[in-house]
Structures are given as structure tokens and as C-alpha cells.
Amino acid sequence: MIPEIELKSPQEIKQFQEEKLQELMGYLSENSPYYKKVFSENKIAISDIKSLEDLEKIPVTTKDDLYKFNDDFLCVEPSEIIDYVTTSGTTGNPVFFGLSDKDLDRLAYNEAISFACSKISKNDTIQLMTTIDRRFLAGLAYFLGARKLGAGIIRVGAGIPELQWDSIFKFNPTYLIAVPSFLLKLIEYAEINDIDINTCSVKGVICIGEPLKEQDFSDNSLSKKIKSKWNIELYSTYASTEMSTAFAECEFQQGGHHHPELIIVEILDDQNKPVKDGEDGELVITTLGVEAMPLLRFKTGDVVRAHHGACKCGRNSLRLGPVIGRKKHMIKYKGTTIYPPAMYNLMNDFSEIENYIIEIDKNEIGLDNITIKLGTKAASEDLMKRLKDHIRAKLRVLPTIVILSIDDVHKLQFPGINRKPILFVDKR
């Protein structure tokens, strides 16, 4: 189930997207109060935008624009909205997204071709270990995608290892959808309760939320840790509510494949100019085929690297590498650019480190300061030396490291009613 366009040449894919872009320009200029205003204020005529390069003539859309002018992005009558979704905006207040009937069909198609990309077929059964309600889009997308593909789906939801294992042995799912760190909880539960995980039906996991790969597509420590105990395939997938589109890995696992029918991808630098091929930049997207709330040049805030060239699976669409970090979390430290996920990876390399939190603030002359607070039962000079050597080797610089009790770090990670631990605090 590979869409034909993904097998075409990069030139043909580009041409195809340019036709879709022109359709979108016509649609927005007729139906979107927000983009009508943008076009008129910037004197953009629809006929000006013919190629993907012409996109540069249009201002980018920020998360802030989406928050401030939320309702103006709606291109259909409110009565056309079937599903109501929210995502957290820049201020922490929710941003609303509406999906029409057609948008739900598009979402189902997106997820079906993304599942198929990761080798899931009609004969598979998927156990969903993420939430499907609470106005989130992801769980619903997975359900619709499985239905469209004809695969079975078991909606267990997030957490509760006992229920997850019970369901695995009762219904024999071949795939799971889960946050990778939750797989460690499942393994831990199985070890305590004498469950032989390698005899269960699960072949692979569609992993969301946390990176599994280094930038060269080798397994990161989280991925290695899981695979050392459990003989399964781990597939990364990257998606968001705003994109309404997923980038899923194929069996060769060389980045998430772009679906040209559904989204236009730009990778931009700080001046909103395209980066050179292979350089890191912010992912900026334009949705295709979205009816209720299409987005044009939306800045996702995620820093990624695109990979071009044919993939062994036959697809020629570009591939996105693992998310390097959030643009706003970028740290300039002693002349080096660092994103928090790189430091999470380093902490995960040490089994002695029980928990950790990374704090960023500014020093008296306005430069970024990094403090890693970690909890361990095995504090020693030897551990400190190995840790420092490892960090220096990978990051080329050494942040301040403070060893605390596991309890104290736990308190810092869960300051309020948070369900998930906080790993990064930005005090700048």
C-alpha cells in the first residue's frame, strides 16, 4: 500500500506538490479569514505562487498567530465540524482545532499509509497504549487508520502494565503503539511477575513522543535498553495535531517518510530562509487536503534534518531524521549549540543514574548556564569521572553536574500534579 506518488522521482513529486499548492492558495483565498487578511496585507496574488520556491513570498504562520487568531483559521461553518481537538499553545492555553468529516477521512488515510509504511497490514492487530480521548488527536488517528487498513485495534489506553499484559496474552496483538519509556515499565512489570516477554505475540512497536535514534539512525540508548530485553522491532513516528500528518519509518528505518499528498515540508533557518540540504533547521509545514483548518507555512518549533535520496523501500519522498529538539529550548553553551534531548540520551547511557533534571538559566553576563541534577545510589568519584568524560566526548563541553538523592530529584521532577516527569526546566 505505497501511494504511487511516493515512488515517483523527486522532480515529479515537486511538480505534484506545486499543483496541490496552487489548489490550496485558491481554497484559502476564498475560505480562510486569516489567510485572506495575510494575502491582502502583503499584496500576494494567488497567481504569484506557482512553485515551492514561491512559498518564500508568503509570511510564516507562528504558534502565536494560531493562538491569537484561532477562530479566523476556520474555513468551514462550525456545523461542519465533527471532532473538536485542542493542543497546548505557546502560553499554555489550549488552541482549538476542528476536523470536518473529510478531514477525518484524510486523517484515516494518513495513518493507514503510515502504518503500512511500518509494515502493518490488514492481518495485524494493534494494541493502543495511548489515550484516545481528552481532546487529543493521536489516539483517534490511530483508531481511524487501523480501521481504514482493516487491522484490528485493542484500545487499552495509557498506563496500567497489568492490564496491558492481560490484554496482550488474551488478544495476541502483533503491534503496540506506545511511548518508548513505557515499554521499560512493561518489561519491569514482566520481570517482577515472571512473564516471559519473548514468548508473546508482539513483533513490533510504533513508538511516539521520544526519539529512538541518533542522527545517523543508529539506535540510541533508550532503544538499545528496550531491545536488549525484548526481541521486537521499534519504529519511530513523528506527528502533531497541527500537521494532521505522520512521518513514519519504513522497515529500513532511515527517517520518517514524507507523504507528498498530505503536506509540504520546508526546513528553515533563523531568518526563515531554507537551510542547505542536510543542515538542521526548523520544520515548517503546509497542510494539503485539509478542509476545516488548513495551515500555510506553519512553524512547528521542532528542529530537524531532512534526508534526500531514494530509500531501499522504493520511496523517493524525503525523510525526516529524529527531532533534534525544540527551537525555543536551544542552548548556546560555551560556543556550542545544544538541545535537551541530546543530554537525555547521555544520562540514559548510565544505568547507575536513577533520575535527572536539567536546569537552564542565565549567568550574570547573560550567557546560558546548564546544571544537570541527577539522582543515584552509586555516587562515586569513578562514576563522576566516567560521566564527565562521556559528556565531554559527545557534547564537547561540560555542564555543571550536581548529585542529589533520588528522592530530591523526584521532587523536582514532579512539582505539581504532573503525570509525566519534568526533565527540563528553562529559567532563562
Residues that bind Zn ion (CB under 5 A): 250, 252, 311, 313, 315
Nearer Cβ to Zn ion, position 255 or 340? Answer: 255
Nearer Cβ to Zn ion, position 27 or 217? Answer: 217
Nearer Cβ to Zn ion, position 6 or 349? Answer: 6
Nearer Cβ to Zn ion, position 119 or 225? Answer: 119
Nearer Cβ to Zn ion, position 74 or 250? Answer: 250
CB of 334 to Zn ion, least distance (A): 38
CB of 208 to Zn ion, least distance (A): 19
Nearer Cβ to Zn ion, position 313 or 330? Answer: 313
Nearer Cβ to Zn ion, position 180 or 256? Answer: 256
H or E element at residue 108: helix 101-117
Nearer Cβ to Zn ion, position 196 or 216? Answer: 216
CB of 372 to Zn ion, least distance (A): 36
Neighbours of 10 (CB within 10 A): 14
Nearer Cβ to Zn ion, position 225 or 315? Answer: 315
Give the Cα separation of 219 and 65 in Å (integer): 37
CB of 111 to Zn ion, least distance (A): 17
CB of 24 to Zn ion, least distance (A): 27
C-alpha cell read off for 157? 489506553
Give the Cα separation of 29 and 121 in Å (integer): 39
Give the Cα separation of 30 and 328 in Å (integer): 34
> Which residue bears the cell 500534579?
417
CB of 52 to Zn ion, least distance (A): 22
Nearer Cβ to Zn ion, position 116 or 153? Answer: 116
CB of 314 to Zn ion, least distance (A): 7
CB of 251 to Zn ion, least distance (A): 7
Among 55, 40, 77, CA closest to 288: 55
Compute CA distances 330 → 257, 269, 278, whole Å: 25, 13, 19
3 state DSSP class of 242: coil
Compute CA distances 277 → 247, 266, 269, whole Å: 19, 11, 12
Q: Are 129 and 178 in contact (CB under 8 A)?
A: yes
CA terminus-to-terminus distance, the chain: 47
Render 167-199 in DSSP notation, one character per residue. HHHHH--SEEEE-HHHHHHHHHHHHHTT--GGG
CB of 280 to Zn ion, least distance (A): 21
Q: What angle do CA 417, 422, 427 make, to 5 degrees?
A: 105
Give the Cα separation of 338 and 330 in Å (integer): 6
3 state DSSP class of 24: helix
Q: What angle do CA 200, 201, 207 make, to 5 degrees?
A: 100
**Amino acid letter at 13?**
I
CB of 239 to Zn ion, least distance (A): 17
